[in-house]
A = this chain, B = another copy of it.
Amino acid sequence: MNKQSSRRKFISTAVILTAGSTAIAKTLTMKTKDNKLAHQVYFWLNKAEDKDKLIEGINTLKKIKAVRQLHVGVVAATEKREVIDTSWGVSLLVFFDGIEGEASYQTDPIHLDFVKNYSALWNKVVVYDSTIV
C-alpha cells in the first residue's frame, strides 16, 4: 500500500468509526437522556382515612413546570392474584420529557412544599423510575 492509498484508507476508516460512534452515542442518549420518563410512586398511609388529603396534596404537583402528565390512583378492584401488590394506599404516576425533567421536579419549590406538608401522612414510599424505550 503506497502512502496515498494508506492515507485514503485511514480517512475512510476514521469516517466509518466516527459514524459508528455517533450512532452508538445517539442510541445511548436516547435511552438515558431524551426518552420519556415514567416516575411511578406508591405511598403507604399511616391512616387509610388520609387518602383524600394525600390526593389533594399530590394534585398540587400538577403545577410543576417539568410535569408533562400526572395521574393519581388508588388500588383498583381487579381480580386478586398473588403477584398483585394491593397493600399501598395512593399511587402517583408522572411523565417527564427525560431525566432532567425528573431532576428539576425533585428540587421544584412546589415539590419541596408537598414533601414538607404531606410526608407525615405516609410511612413508606416506593419509587420506580422507568425510561420508556
Chain A residues with a Cβ under 8 A of chain B: 31-32, 36-40, 42, 55, 71-79, 81, 83-86, 88, 91, 93, 99, 102-103, 106, 125-133
When chains A and B are docked, how far (Å) is the Cα of A114 from the Cα of B36? 25
Q: How far apart are A21's CB and chain B's nearest CB, in angstroms?
A: 19
4 closest A-B pairs by beta carbon, nearest first, are A73-B130, A76-B129, A76-B131, A91-B130
A91 cross-chain contacts in B, Cβ below 8 A = 38, 40, 128, 130
A37 cross-chain contacts in B, Cβ below 8 A = 76, 78
Copies in the complex: 2
A133 cross-chain contacts in B, Cβ below 8 A = 55, 72-74
Q: Considering only CB atoms, which chain B residue lies closest to A100 in the complex? A: B78
A39 cross-chain contacts in B, Cβ below 8 A = 78
When chains A and B are docked, how far (Å) is the Cα of A125 from the Cα of B128? 13
A99 cross-chain contacts in B, Cβ below 8 A = 76-78
When chains A and B are docked, how far (Å) is the Cα of A85 from the Cα of B31? 18
A85 cross-chain contacts in B, Cβ below 8 A = 126-128
Task: List 7 contacting pairs A-B, 8 Å CB cutoff, sorted by A.
Answer: A31-B74, A37-B78, A38-B71, A73-B133, A74-B130, A77-B131, A78-B129
Q: Report whether B76 and A130 are in contact in the complex, using a CB–CB cutoff of 8 Å.
A: yes
